[in-house]
Amino acid sequence: MLVVVGALTGTLAGFMGVGGGILLVPFLVLALGMTQHEAEATSLLVILPTAVAASIALRRRGVGDLRAGLGLGTVGAVGAVVGALLALALPADVLRVAFAVLLAVAGVQLIRDARAES
């Protein structure tokens, strides 16, 4: 089951441009019973190989800005350390609510963008 969900998450992330964690974290918490902290940490571990594979595929097609990507990645890595430390300082229920709010905001924005394009 993990292989199927991993493949589906990676495919959807590459196809739709959404972060795989938006799909993976709820699955790990709801289906596998992981704590919010465990699910988010696992999701972060999945991001690196997924991002590298997608970046290579896109770069081969001449898509993307390597310099901007490396710069954002460097700054993002520092932010990830700060975010991980903050997440560890929060109780799991607070972290779960914060993640749910992030999902809701992302969903509203996607709907708003889709309506604006049509």
The residue type at 50: T
State the pLDDT at residue 14.
67
The DSSP line for 46-62 is HHHHHHHHHHHHHHHTT
Residues 35-83: tens digit of each pLDDT: 999 998 998 888 778 778 878 888 889 888 888 888 888 898 898 889 8
Spatial separation of the C-alpha atoms in residues 38 and 44, rounded to whole Å: 10
* Structural domain containing residue 45: 2-117
State the pLDDT at residue 29.
92
Number of domains in the chain: 1
Q: Flag the least confident range among 44-53, 93-102, 103-112.
A: 44-53
The two tokens of residue 83 are 């975010």
Q: How far is CA 24 from the centre of its chain?
A: 8
pTM over 0.85: no
Torsion angle defined by CA atoms of residues 3, 6, 12 and 17, in that order, rounded to the nearest 10 degrees: -160
Residues 52-62: tens digit of each pLDDT: 887 888 888 98
